[in-house]
């Protein structure tokens, strides 16, 4: 994800990284070529004028297309914003569980025992990130988990859920030993259920994309409209047809491209969520509660977030 400070209005006009313009350039060039053909056909090639300058068809299609694109952008943004709220909840639940592990036990627990609980909790955002992106979590988990727990988690199909199970077993073990009283167990369980809601919510977003037929319909309509628009403009604006046709095409195609990117918020596109950074932030927040030094900030990566 591109994360940058607010840009001056002129620099915003020239912004390149984080915009969808680079991926649209070949398509816009195609529209430019079609516009050149429309101008040449109108002025030189065809003895009969190609008169598509009736405004009603283009106005009706354009208005309907704008409505559909707006609806799709809203649906995609809802998925993106829900994903962001879920990761915000993951931060809150992790902080609460860290505080509870440090303060709720009736008698002081060995430092290494609490450390195992917090290590599993700190590894959970990384395990969830890799599950959502279908990437290999071995390097991140091996650096954070004890060897026995690492082998158990790696062998599981749903690694975040396995870490959740371990956290519950830790609470149960100390409750039976009398280190955690029943009221504290309820508090732990409430936050563990919150973590389960986060994992389930993220899995729901990943496994339920927007209906494919709906996306195809909008995609086809956008490209048909943009390809036919030069023939409707050429009678009225002549040689300027390529300029206006490309600008209108950029508007419609960019809306579709942005909606396509944020529809899958856990991916690696420029406008997806910066889950690498958020995973590190959650772990760093837990270390801060323990009085430990901050983690080194992750180096900027093109697949996650960039700074200008």
pTM of the model: 0.85
Helices (H), the chain: 9-14, 21-40, 55-103, 111-133, 138-142, 147-155, 159-176, 182-207, 212-237, 241-263, 275-289
How far does CA 76 lie from the centroid of its chain? Answer: 10
- Tokens 């932030």 locate to 281
Let me know if residue 239 belongs to a domain: yes
Q: Which residues pair with 306 in a beta bridge?
A: 2
Quick one: average pLDDT of 88-114? 90
How much is the pLDDT for 4? Answer: 58
The pLDDT score that the predictor gives to residue 5 is 59
**Radius of gyration, alpha carbons of the chain:** 27
pLDDT number for residue 238: 83
Give tens-digit pLDDT for 23-60.
899 999 999 999 999 888 877 665 444 455 455 677 77
**CA 81/CA 87 separation, integer angstroms:** 10
Q: Does 74 reside within a domain? A: yes
250 neighbors 26 (Cβ within 8 angstroms)? no
Number of domains in the chain: 1
6 in a structural domain: no
Within a domain: 137 = yes
The string of pLDDT tens digits covering residues 179-192 is 999 999 999 999 99
* Residue 2 β-bridge partners: 306
Which pLDDT value is given to residue 295?
A: 76
* pLDDT score of 172: 95
Domain that includes residue 181, residue range:
21-44+51-289
The answer to whether 31 touches 249, Cβ cutoff 8 Å, is yes
Average pLDDT, the chain: 86
Inside any domain, residue 9: no
| Cβ–Cβ < 8 Å for 65, 221 | yes
DSSP state of 22: H
**pLDDT > 50? residue 307:** no
| Residue 262, in any domain of the structure | yes
280 domain-assigned: yes
Instruction: State the average pLDDT over residues 70-86.
Output: 93
Q: Is the pLDDT of residue 159 over 70?
A: yes
SS3 of residue 306 by DSSP: strand
pLDDT of residue 283: 93
**Is 253 within a domain?**
yes
> pLDDT tens digits, residue range 122-142?
999 999 999 999 999 999 999
């Amino acid at each position: 994800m591109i994360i940058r400070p607010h840009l001056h209005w002129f620099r915003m006009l020239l912004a390149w990284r984080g915009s969808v313009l680079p991926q649209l350039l070949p398509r816009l060039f195609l529209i430019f070529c079609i516009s050149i053909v429309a101008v040449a056909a109108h002025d030189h090639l065809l003895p009969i004028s190609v008169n598509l300058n009736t405004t009603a068809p283009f106005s009706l299609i354009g208005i309907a297309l704008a409505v559909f694109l707006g609806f799709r952008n809203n649906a995609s943004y809802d998925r993106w914003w829900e994903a962001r709220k879920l990761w915000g909840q993951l931060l809150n639940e992790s902080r609460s569980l860290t505080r509870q592990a440090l303060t709720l036990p009736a008698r002081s627990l060995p430092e290494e025992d609490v450390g195992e609980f917090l290590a599993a909790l700190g590894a959970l955002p990384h395990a969830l990130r890799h599950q959502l992106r279908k990437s290999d979590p071995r390097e991140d988990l091996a650096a954070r988990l004890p060897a026995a727990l690492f082998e158990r988690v790696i062998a599981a199909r749903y690694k975040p859920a396995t870490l959740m199970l371990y956290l519950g077993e830790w609470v149960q073990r100390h409750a039976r030993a009398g280190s955690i009283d029943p009221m504290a167990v309820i508090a732990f369980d409430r936050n563990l259920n919150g973590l389960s809601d986060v994992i389930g919510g993220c899995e729901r977003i990943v496994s339920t994309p927007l209906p494919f037929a709906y996306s195809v319909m909008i995609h086809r309509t956008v490209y048909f409209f943009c390809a036919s628009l030069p023939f409707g403009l050429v009678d009225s604006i002549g040689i300027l047809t390529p300029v206006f046709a490309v600008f209108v095409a950029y508007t419609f195609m960019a809306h579709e491209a942005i909606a396509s990117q944020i529809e899958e918020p856990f991916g690696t596109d420029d406008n997806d969520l910066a889950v690498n950074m958020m995973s590190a932030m959650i772990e760093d927040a837990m270390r801060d509660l323990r009085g430990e030094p901050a983690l080194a900030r992750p180096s900027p990566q093109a697949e996650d977030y960039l700074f200008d």
